[in-house]
Structures are given as C-alpha cells and as structure tokens.
Amino acid sequence: MIFLSGFLIVAIASNQIAKVFQKIKFPLITGFIITGIIAGSSLLNFIPPEAIKKLNFLNEIALAIIAFSAGAELYLDDLRSRLNSIKWMTIGQLVITFVLTSVTVYFIADKIPFMVDLENSTRFAISILFGTIFVARSPSSAIAVINEMRANGPFTKTVMGVTVVKDVMVIILFAVVFSVAKTLVNGNEIDLTFLIILLLELVISFGLGYLVGKILEIPFQLFHNGDVKKISVVLIGYSIYLFSNFIKINSDNWFHHEIILEPLLIAIIGSFVLTNKSKHRLEFRELLHDISPTIYIIFFTLTGASLSFHTLVNVFGIAVALFLLRLITMVLGGMFGVIAAKDPKKYLSVAWMPYITQAGVALGLATIVSNEFPDWGHEFETIVIAIIVINQLIGPPLFKWVLNYLNESHLRAKMKPLQSTRDAIIFGVENQSIALAQQLEKHNWKPRLVCLEDCNIENINDFEIISNFVPTAKNLKKLSLNKTEAVVLMLNDDDNFYIAERIYENIGTEDIIVRLNQRDNFEKFHKLGALIIEPSTAIVSLLDHFVRSPNATSLLLGMDDGQDTMDIEIKNKDYHGLRIRELRLPSDLIILSIERKGQMLMTHGYTRLRIGDIMTLVGSEKSLEDIKFKLDT
C-alpha cells in the first residue's frame, strides 16, 4: 500500500508534466516515460526497484486494457470495402518486416552491446523477438490522427484496417515466437512434441478468449452504473492474468509440463468477440476510451521508472540504427502491399508512412520479454522504448502529411466557402426571415436574404442581403443554388410558386421550404416536392405537441443545450446494405426516421440502409457532425 500510494502521487505528477511535453509538440507517452525515468531508481529513486516488482499487477491490468482496446477496433463490417488491400498490406508489413529485421539483427548482433557474449541460439531468440515487436503498430495513435485530420477515403480505411489487424496478428505471432525464444534460451530442443504443445496452447488461448468475450457481456447486461461496468471490465482483464499465472504454476504438477497461456491473446480475442458478436460493442468501446487515459499514465510511467537513464543514453545510437532498419523494411512491405493489391500507383512511395508510430502493444510485449529474461531483457526493453520514442516523434507528422498529400484529410479551416453544404437562401426580408437567418447562423449556417424590391435594412451586418432581385432562371443560377442546401420562400404565394417552379425545373436544390399564405395553394406546392409550413396550423400543432410531449418537442426544436436534429443523406457506399443495428452510432444519437425515394420507412434494427436514404437523427451536436461526416462522404 505504501508503494502504491507513492506511485499514485508520481502518476498524478506525470499526467501534469506530460501536458507540458504536449505543448512543445511531444507525444503524451514520451512525457509519461521521461517522468517515470526521473522518478525511478536511476535518478530520484522515488520509485525504487522493489516497488516495480510489487506494482507489477498494475502492468498486467494495463496490458489487458491495451489488448481490449486493440480488439475493440477490429470491427469487421468497417473493413469489408478494403479487405483485399488490407490483406496484402498486412502480409507485406508483417512478413517482410519480421523476416528482414530478424535476419539483420541476428547478423549485426556483435554491434549490439548486450548480445555480444550470448550464444547463437539466444541471439536468434532475441532477433525474432525484435522482429515481432517491430511489426506492432498503435491503433490509438492512428485513430487520434485520423480524427484530428477528419480523414476519410480508401487509403484511410486501409490504414485503419491494417493497423488493427496487424496488432491482432502480432500478438498471435508473439505467442509463438515467445515460446520458441524460451525454448532456445533454456537450451531445449524444438521437436514435434514442442510444436504440438504450442499448437494446443494457442487453441486453448483462443477458446478462453471466446469465453472471455461472453463474460465481458455480463456487466453490460446486469449493471446500469458506468463506474461499476468500468471496474468489472478491469477486474475481468486482471483475472485473465491471474488465471494464466495459476495455470503456469500448477500445470507442471498436474501434467509434468508447464502450460503457457498468452493473456494478451486471450484478451484481444475476447474483445474481438464482444465487438463483433454482441450489441454492446459501442458502449464497450466508449468505456475503454474513458479508461485508457488513466491506464496509459500508469503503464508508461511505471515502465519509465523501471528503466535506467544511463542505459537509455548508451543504447540510443543502436536504437536509431534499428529504427532506420525498421523503416527500410516498412517501405519494402508497403510497396509489396500496394503492388499485390493493385492499389493506385500514387500509394507506392507513401504506403509505409502511416505505420511508423508505436505505443502500448509494442511496449507491452517488450515488458513481457524484460520480465521473462532478466539477464538481458532489461537492455532489450530499453532499446525498444528508445525506438518507440523516436517512432512517436516521427510517425504522426508523416501520417498527417500523407493524408494531405492524398487529399483524404477534411479539415474545416481549409474548406472553401462554395464547397459548404450549409448555405441557405431566404427569399423575403421581414422580421421572421431576419430572425430565421440569425438562428441559422448560430448553427454555423451561411444564410443570404433576397428581396425582390429595394430593401433598406439598417443594423444588419451579419449576413448578405440582395436587393432588387429579378427571379429569372438565369439570375437564380447566379445565386449558385445548385450548391445551396436549402431555399426558404417567405413571399406571397404567387411569387413563391414562380420561384419554386423555376428552381424545380432548372436547378433542383435539395430542399425548398415554403411558408404558405393560403391553404388553397397547398397542392400545387406539394407537387413540386416543397416542404410546406402553414403558420396558422403549425402553431396549433406545435402547442399540441408541447402539451402532450414537452420533452420530445423541446428536443426536436433544439431548445435543449447541446442537442439538435439533422437530416443526413447516405452517400458513403460502405454503408450500403448495412443493417441499422450494425451501425457504430454514438450512444447519444437516436434515429427518428429514414426516408427512401420519398417514402418514410418503419425502421427497426434489421432495416438495411441504401445509398440515397435520408436519415433523420437527434442528439448531441458533436456526434451529429461526426456521423454526418461518415455517412455522406
């Protein structure tokens, strides 16, 4: 408890210090690691070596959550449109990086200080362990860059798929390589019995992973309190390590052979099962998103505290050399993936750039190696951490650059005004139209007011007012109505119909909204597909809804802070044919309706979406913006 209390104080300080590193463009994890090094035994000794051993359970909890997070990103429906590219890029990155780095490290072992005096079998074990860790990538870092750049497109989808699939594959690869490495280091032979036992261990790990996936559903079914769910998930993750250690200790007595289960593999399979086979995947992902910042602080700070500052300085040169080696193999792997998948040639020279960054999974594997092989594992881990720090500094800027280069980033600041889909033109200048324009502007629309006469409006500088407009087809086109999302007609019925008809026949603006003056004119506007508001009945209907359902009416009218409604047309072909229940909608969004070819659908979880469907949603403004970007891009 004393060690734990002292470490928590250091972790709180680490969180604040890392924010300073972030301000000077360093990754947060670099700040965590450096704070841990300073607080560790090589400098201030706030966290002595005996504390590292006592606090190992924190490492195990963190590794389980990191594995859960990696598995939660492997949602198969999101990857289906780029499966061929993902397959070949994964093979290229996995095989080429693993084989070339393993072979190279083995042959340059004399240049790596801690490997000089080791036997060839141990050198080979270390080489394949390096090769495995060099394959690992960071899904959390990739997601952070993609969200920051608002990236979307075939290259981005391939990157996300490869990043997640690689981390699943690298953990499976590590389970095999780790067993082989232990056998080689201990001087045992790799025979048929060893291979059968290894296969059996993998099968058991997969089976336990499936069981963990089902167990993970229980907290979401039984509990409503979010904190209870988080604690339950953490305990389930830690239980995987407790069970694996229990089997390792007792299997030798039971079967006269030590059975090694891979907790990371069990955790990632469990997370994958829950993500793809249950209705709780979105809630699970959000829960992990809430837990992860705290986990990263604890894990990376504790890892830094276990390092020797002097060792880190001594191995930094070899770390740079190994970083360059990894970079070369990734370039070759990227080129192979592009050629094999027959992707566009413009990807050929840049396909490797998104896969540089490393974080939790790579560091977790290095920590396992360090704990298992105390003679040289510490130096191994230190080199890996130095490489991860370099990757963290160089990877994200290169990823951002390539997204801009391929025009798959969609930053708001760089969008031209004419490309905006939030333009509205209001015909008629009066108190109601001015109030409407002001309200739209508050919601980040760009309204323009058009007057058929001479409009002299004072004290209106917030938006454009066009006076003396003659509504011919030619003049209407000059207003760029084909790039305008909505036209609101607030003139008399004759002028409204004339303009609506010209727009209908010559332009085809998405939404034409008409304020009706005479009920008798309803039908002719309806034939043009206009959205019709009849003031006299609208007020009565609104009051009626306020009386019968005040909460729902307030929500739909946007009267609740941070809440809004939005119509989104589905243009992204990846969502064509997807069931509503398979959408990864944020939990604060509700689907109100779906319109298809002018008909309103009675929707349920198994309703399949189609290109051109217009989905009406209600929820938080941020979530609405995020889902609009995904569905209509």
CB half-sphere exposure, 193, CA atoms < 13 A: 5
pLDDT score, position 127: 92
pLDDT by residue (tens digit) across 493-549? 888 888 888 887 777 666 788 988 888 888 888 877 788 888 777 777 777 777 777
Residue 424 phi/psi, 5-degree rounding, is -135, 135
pLDDT tens for residues 563-576? 777 888 888 888 88
pLDDT of 510 reads 62
Q: Say if strands 446-450 and 423-427 run parallel, antiparallel, or are unpaired.
A: parallel
The tokens 């004399």 sit on which residue?
110
CA atoms within 13 A on the CB side of 35: 28
What's the confidence (pLDDT) of residue 410?
61
- Under CATH, which number does the domain 57-410 receive? 1.20.1530.20
How much of the chain is helix, strand and coil, in % rounded to 5? 65, 10, 25
Q: What does the longest C-alpha to C-alpha distance in the chain come to?
A: 97
Read out DSSP for 505-565?
A: HHT--SEEEEE-S-GGGHHHHHHTT-EEE-HHHHHHHHHHHHHH-HHHHHHHTT-STTEEE
CATH class of 417-538: alpha beta
Q: Which of 87, 75, 24, 138 is nearest to 387 (CA)?
A: 138
Predicted TM-score of the model (pTM): 0.63
Q: Please state, in angstroms and rounded to a whole number, the distance separating the CA atoms of residues 389 and 380.
A: 15
Position 10, amino acid: V
Burial of 528 (0-12, 13-18, 19+ CB in 10 A): middle
Contacts of 531 (CB under 8 A, 6+ apart): 511, 512, 513, 514
* Cα-trace Rg, the chain: 30
For residue 561, the model assigns a pLDDT of 66
Low-confidence ranges of the chain (pLDDT < 50): 412-420
Phi, psi (deg, nearest 5) at residue 313: -65, -40
Cα separation, 476 vs 480, in Å, equals 7
* H and E: helices and strands count for the chain: 24, 10
- Where are the chain's structural domains? 57-410, 417-538, 563-631
Instruction: Name the CATH superfamily for 563-631.
Output: Regulator of K+ conductance, C-terminal domain (3.30.70.1450)
* Contact of 377 with 125, CB cutoff 8 Å: no
The residue assigned the tokens 């070899």 is 318
φ, ψ of residue 258 in degrees (nearest 5)? -80, 115
DSSP per-residue codes, 5-35: HHHHHHHHHHHHHHHHHHHTT--HHHHHHHH
Q: Where are the alpha helices (DSSP H) in 223-262?
A: 226-255
| CA–CA separation, 532 and 182 (whole Å) | 75
Strand (E) or helix (H) holding 619: strand 614-620
Task: Give residue 417's pLDDT.
Answer: 38
Three-state DSSP at 31 gives: helix
- CA-CA distance, 26 to 14, in Å (whole number)? 14
- H-helix or E-strand containing 286? helix 281-305
CA distance 66 to 361: 7
Q: What is the DSSP string of 418-469?
A: GG-S-EEEEE--SHHHHHHHHHHHHTT-EEEEE-SS----TT--SSEEE-S-
Structure token digits, residue 223? 């509990």
Q: Which residues of 43-61 are buried (b: 16+ CB within 10 A; e: fewer)?
A: eeebbeeebbeebeebbbb
Contact (Cβ atoms closer than 8 angstroms) between residue 270 and residue 210: yes
The pLDDT mean for the chain works out to 82
**Site of tokens 């793809």:** 276
Directed axis angle between helix 154-185 and helix 377-405, to 10°? 170
